[in-house]
Structure 1
């Protein structure tokens, strides 16, 4: 389990720095689906070069349900919602909302997974995290009320969490059947092509050559993150003795590190009371989740 937690922490640290680079890449006159499709297709090509082996296509057909789930739900639906959501709200708010991923997935695991049930401490943790979200939803990055575009962005980010949480459960319950890095290669390449194709049809073609250096720097960082982060994540999910809910709690690293990086890197974004308070409340839910029972037991011992 400790090995699985370590992989999850590594993936979470990498994912925490994604949102500011997505915002930067989109700022160079590039649309969300074109950018996402280009990124993931490049990642898939790199990983295929590393994992190519005989019998590869037979393996894909043998596990076509798992691969189909990842390509359609995790990649296409999940990342389409994610990229539009990030485009609609500030980098800090998108980082903090995505920090709800572990807590929403705890509830999802209780409803869908076969061996992952809620207890009263997890329920309290979910309630605390929702209170943090209400603080964040009330304001934008400048402290003013969010408009319909901002609220729509948050709804899309929450939809992304649900799509990807369901896929994570399916990967976890198929432990040991497919190499995690090969699994990542297939979902990235075919999912990226699907996103890119639909993006061209819906948004028009955006040429990716003759762009400023900043565009390629952002794309390069995002490609690097995707090569390693998802591979680490699948390793965590497929490690024996780990549960989806426990692995997902490591993603509470994301709202803190992601929001701080947005405030540092992106012009016009700075901390305000509501976003900082919401971040603190969400992170406190991690303490309740893992240490709630221990804290209550110690309090009872002191009383007696």
Structure 2
């Protein structure tokens, strides 16, 4: 059996409106626990401003563990269209070595899947879109690994497409999931919706586990700021949602990925009572 691995899965930090209390706590947890890797699944910034990226770089570079970063839709310049089209990741330059970085730790690989495009033929550009090139690159990386390797795919947008009445949260998400189901993929890590989840998504080739992390910003949706702590022992992947409010993991998780991923409240507005989503399984810590 492989050594037990610990991964921290962070998302939607949104430097610019970051929750510094939560970030200080997460950093101390990383310093104390030294997880085998940290995966950040997008939206490091709020408006893709230079000072937001500078703050993100300073915080991430202070972490003494391997880090991989997926860009999010908020990390693409929305106010400077030439740069958005020609070099959408230009402001990651200071830590470009960490963006879409494949990590391998003791038989477990973290493989990136880019779900962002500079422009889309629909009004809401915040939603995900998986291009053929992006999926081909992800699958090629997976297929190049040893046959015994297990994989966690890192993406920003959940690969949820069904049930959104033609305005799909992530276009080509269903196709991507079906392809991933044919490989040694333990799950797809993502963010974007600002609430945690752990959902088995059906595909024609079998189910794929989708694991979402909450936010570490003040832009909360229905649960407090949080991150995911994952444990892999060579046979089972467990997920615990960590938060400063002491809320149990299952009470932090939503049952479905919402079509509208925009948080419904402004910073400073109170959070709805946690535990608002009925579940059939008992809460676990």
TM-score normalized by structure 1?
A: 0.29
Structure with bigger helix share is: 1
Which structure has more RCO (C-alpha within 8 Å, separation ≥ 6)? 1
TM-score normalized by structure 2?
A: 0.31
